[in-house]
Structure 1
Amino acid sequence: MTIVSELDLPVFDYSAPDLTGEVYHRRLAEVAGRGWLAQGPLSYVVLDRESGEFFLRSRATAFPGRQIAELFGVTAGRLWEQIDANILNQSGERHRRLRALVGPAFTPRAADRWRPAMREFLTLLWDGLRQDGKAQGEKARNGETRNEKAGGEAGGETASCEFVEAVARPYPALTVAAVLGAPAADAPRLHEWSNWVQRQFDIRSLATELPRIERAVAEVYDYVEELLAERRVAPGDDLVSALLAAEEEGERLSHAECVNLVLNVLAGGVDTTQAQLAHALRLFAGHPGQWELLAADPGLAGRAVQEVLRFEPITPFTARVCLEQVEYRGVVFPAGSIVAVCAERGNREIEAGEAFDITAERDARLLTFGAGAHYCLGANLARAELEEALAFLAPRMPDLTPDGPPRFGGVEGIYGLEALPLRWSSPTAPV
């Protein structure tokens, strides 16, 4: 056995500022070609699926949220309270109890309940695009602008929008508001908070934007308390009301656990789906033949979502800390060692894995949502949101193509897009 620190490992810097787009994929492929393990800035990087599943499923590892927070001086305050209580950082019986309480709200059947609401939100957002297009068309007729925008009904054959702002950002926030029982008008605030709270997993943000993260956590704690108080007086058919019922039954759920579970759902269910939907449209804009297939048969939406999740996971690196000495593949990882499981390489480690193809027969196992006891609670809801969005948009956006370069975020936490300009043709028939 060799201690991991004694290995001559290739270096992979997941905090490099230029690590986005094809540069990111190319560098990962290069380092993975030298073996299954690399050295990162704060952790070792695990680069194949078998090894990734081992560390994600092992009872000798855990999510290192507390350890990472301490590295950046977060040891007290509301952010530390949230990190310490986060279901990702729980284990054993307490973790099983909390998942059992919140899990029924995120089964495939439970997620399907919200599909009609998802379609309503998509219709609302699409109608907003069409209205923007009409307004832009009127400006064009008045000589104020030369380009048709958004929706394609304003006198031009093409339409365009900045997709993140127009659809990808508001859509999951509206959905999570409905699931929680929060007013739809609160969706923009939910998105803002989710974006900042999620940055507790982003080492670059922890190093440079810690006060803003801490302020967002404090604000969202206050909001959740208000929402719980409202639902206690007027319960509904929503997750918050269900958790309050569990709290009132006594020992099943404490008030603090109830607050933190709602915060976990709010923080984890918005920014993630926004990022994955934006990457989906970016991928399809670059693969027009695949988009045409989906538009012709929206029933392919499930396979399309699976391929998007495989090809461009928005959680590229999932961390684990060794709670005790771990021996694997002839390597000793001492207690306290942190490993980052690379979903991007693990997902592509199949035949023709570097090709984006929604018709290909693929192994259904992905590392995008993790594995083992901490497999993502919201995976079914996210899949449903993405399926509904792709099935809705594909027939309405023929000839989808980029309308400028995307603006990428970093890969350290949630790998999203800050902007995605797109252009498409007006449908030849009503949809």
Structure 2
Amino acid sequence: MTIVTELDLPEFDYSAPDLTGEVYHRRLAEAAGRGWLAQGPLSYVVLDRESGEFFLRSRAAAFPGRQIAELFGAVTGRLWEQIDANILNQSGERHRRLRALVGPAFTPRAADRWRPAMRGFLQELWDAKATSCEFVGSVARPYPALTVAAVLGAPPQDAPRLHEWSDWVQRQFDVRALATELPRIERAVAEVYDYVEALLAERRTAPGDDLVSALLAAEEQGDRLSHAECVNLVLNVLAGGVDTTQAQLSHALRLFAGHPGQWALLADDPGLAARAVQEVLRYEPITPFTARICVEDVEHRGVVFPAGTIVAICAERGNRGIEAGEEFDITAERDPRILTFGAGAHYCLGANLARAELEEALAFLAPRMPDLAPDGEVGFGGVEGIYGLQSLPLRWSEPHGRP
């Protein structure tokens, strides 16, 4: 057996400031061309699907949220409290119990019940007279915030605040942000804790048909959910369900603007929306690197990863490392397994809700935005945490008739 520290590995710097757009894809492809493993600044980078699934599913590997926080000195206050309580950082029986309590709210059937509301939000955001927009600010940012507000039972006018908090709280997974913007992240966490407490108090006196009311019912049963667990589950949903969908929807429209034939196919047949979403998720995952820490010595492919070793599973290479994987094609027959939502015990709880939001958005927009094309330079974000877009100027033609 060879210890991983003894390997001569190619280097891949996932914190490089110019690592966006096609530069990012090209460098990853070059690294993967030299093998399934690379050396990153704080971790090893796993570059194929087989090994990615192995580490994501391994019980000997856990999410290293606490360890990363400690590296950057975030070991006190509300941010540490949130990291320590985050369902991502739980394991064993407690993790199973928490997922069992919140899971029913995120089944495919549960997600489907919010589709009429999603369509209503899209209609509210749509300007039928326009033939151009900055898409991130106009649609991608407000749409998932409105949806998550509805799921939680929060007032729709709170959606802008929910988006801002989600954006900042999610930066706990971004090593560059932890190094440079820690006080702002900590302030956002404190603000969202206060908001969730107020929302719980309101729903306790006036319960509704929403996730918060359901969690409060479980809390009142005493032995199922503590108050602190209830607060942190709501915070997890709020933080994890807005910025991620915004980023994925923004990339979806960017991809289709660059592939007009694919967009025309979807416009002609909105029933392709589910396949289109699957291809967007595969081709441009907005969680490019998912970290795991080995909690004991792990052996894989003849290599020993000692306890304490951190690996970053690259969903981008895992998803693209298939036949014709570099082609964006919503009609292609592909293996449905992708790494965008993770795998194993910590598979993303909100995956079904996110898919429903994306499907409704693409089915709504494609017939209304014929001849979709870029209308200026794309503002890319970084790939260290959630890989989103800061701006996406688009233009299109007036549709022939009303969709």
Same fold at TM > 0.5: yes
Find the counterpart in structure 2 of residue 143 from structure 1.
Answer: none
Find the counterpart in structure 2 of residue 163 from structure 1.
Answer: 135
The separation in 2 between residues aligned to 1:117 and 1:428, in whole angstroms, is 26
Deviations 1:208-247 (A, max 9, x none): 0000000000000000000000000000000000000000
Aligned partner (choices 306, 312, 317) of residue 278 of structure 2: 306
Alpha-carbon offset, residue 329 of structure 1? 0.6
Aligned partner (choices 319, 325, 341) of residue 297 of structure 2: 325
Find the counterpart in structure 2 of residue 113 from structure 1.
Answer: 113
Secondary structure of 2:16 counterpart: coil
Deviations 1:245-291 (A, max 9, x none): 00000110000000000000000000000000000000000000000
Q: Which amino acid in the other structure matches residue 26 of structure 2?
A: R
Structure 2: state its 5+ residue gaps: none
Alpha-carbon offset, residue 121 of structure 1? 0.1
Aligned partner (choices 232, 235, 242) of residue 263 of structure 1: 235
Q: Which amino acid in the other structure matches residue 45 of structure 1?
A: V
Find the counterpart in structure 1 of residue 340 from structure 2.
Answer: 368
Aligned partner (choices 381, 386, 391) of residue 353 of structure 2: 381
The separation in 1 between residues aligned to 2:265 and 2:75, in whole angstroms, is 51
The separation in 2 between residues aligned to 1:175 and 1:30, in whole angstroms, is 39
Find the counterpart in structure 2 of residue 187 from structure 1.
Answer: 159
Find the counterpart in structure 1 of residue 144 from structure 2.
Answer: 172
The separation in 1 between residues aligned to 2:377 and 2:4, in whole angstroms, is 40
1:20 is aligned to 2:45: no
The separation in 2 between residues aligned to 1:7 and 1:270, in whole angstroms, is 40
Alpha-carbon offset, residue 405 of structure 1? 1.3
Q: Which amino acid in the other structure matches residue 7 of structure 1?
A: L
1:36 is aligned to 2:8: no
Q: Which amino acid in the other structure matches residue 169 of structure 1?
A: R
User: Runs of 4+ in structure 1 displaced over 4 angstroms?
Assistant: none
Find the counterpart in structure 2 of residue 54 from structure 1.
Answer: 54
1:202 is aligned to 2:174: yes
The separation in 1 between residues aligned to 2:146 and 2:313, in whole angstroms, is 31
Find the counterpart in structure 1 of residue 222 from structure 2.
Answer: 250
Find the counterpart in structure 2 of residue 86 from structure 1.
Answer: 86
Deviations 1:43-71 (A, max 9, x none): 00000000000000000000000000000
Secondary structure of 2:396 counterpart: strand
Find the counterpart in structure 2 of residue 231 from structure 1.
Answer: 203
Q: Which amino acid in the other structure matches residue 336 of structure 2?
A: A
Alpha-carbon offset, residue 430 of structure 1? 1.1
Aligned partner (choices 303, 311, 316) of residue 339 of structure 1: 311
Deviations 1:125-148 (A, max 9, x none): 00xx34xxxxxxxxxxxxxxxxxx
1:398 is aligned to 2:353: no
Deviations 1:334-390 (A, max 9, x none): 000000000000001111000000000010000000000000000000000000000
Deviations 1:146-165 (A, max 9, x none): xxxxx33xxxxxx1100000
The separation in 2 between residues aligned to 1:229 and 1:362, in whole angstroms, is 47
Q: Which amino acid in the other structure matches residue 72 of structure 2?
A: F
The separation in 1 between residues aligned to 2:4 and 2:70, in whole angstroms, is 23
Find the counterpart in structure 2 of residue 353 from structure 1.
Answer: 325
Secondary structure of 1:425 counterpart: coil
Find the counterpart in structure 2 of residue 427 from structure 1.
Answer: 399
Deviations 1:4-55 (A, max 9, x none): 0111000000000000000000000000000000000000000000000000
Secondary structure of 1:358 counterpart: coil
The separation in 2 between residues aligned to 1:123 and 1:109, in whole angstroms, is 23
Alpha-carbon offset, residue 301 of structure 1? 0.1
Find the counterpart in structure 2 of residue 407 from structure 1.
Answer: 379
Find the counterpart in structure 2 of residue 103 from structure 1.
Answer: 103
The separation in 1 between residues aligned to 2:213 and 2:302, in whole angstroms, is 50
Aligned partner (choices 283, 289, 294) of residue 255 of structure 2: 283
Q: Which amino acid in the other structure matches residue 386 of structure 1?
A: L
Q: Which amino acid in the other structure matches residue 25 of structure 1?
A: H
Q: Which amino acid in the other structure matches residue 108 of structure 1?
A: P
The separation in 1 between residues aligned to 2:402 and 2:345, in whole angstroms, is 46
The separation in 2 between residues aligned to 1:76 and 1:422, in whole angstroms, is 43
The separation in 2 between residues aligned to 1:113 and 1:119, in whole angstroms, is 11
Find the counterpart in structure 2 of residue 142 from structure 1.
Answer: none
Find the counterpart in structure 1 of residue 269 from structure 2.
Answer: 297
- Give RMSD over aligned pairs: 0.4
Q: Which amino acid in the other structure matches residue 365 of structure 1?
A: R
Secondary structure of 1:282 counterpart: helix
**TM-score normalised by structure 1 residue count:** 0.93
Q: Which has the larger radius of gyration?
A: 1
Alpha-carbon offset, residue 428 of structure 1? 1.3
**TM-score normalised by structure 2 residue count:** 1.00
How many residues align? The count is 403
Structure 1: state its 5+ residue gaps: 131-150, 153-158
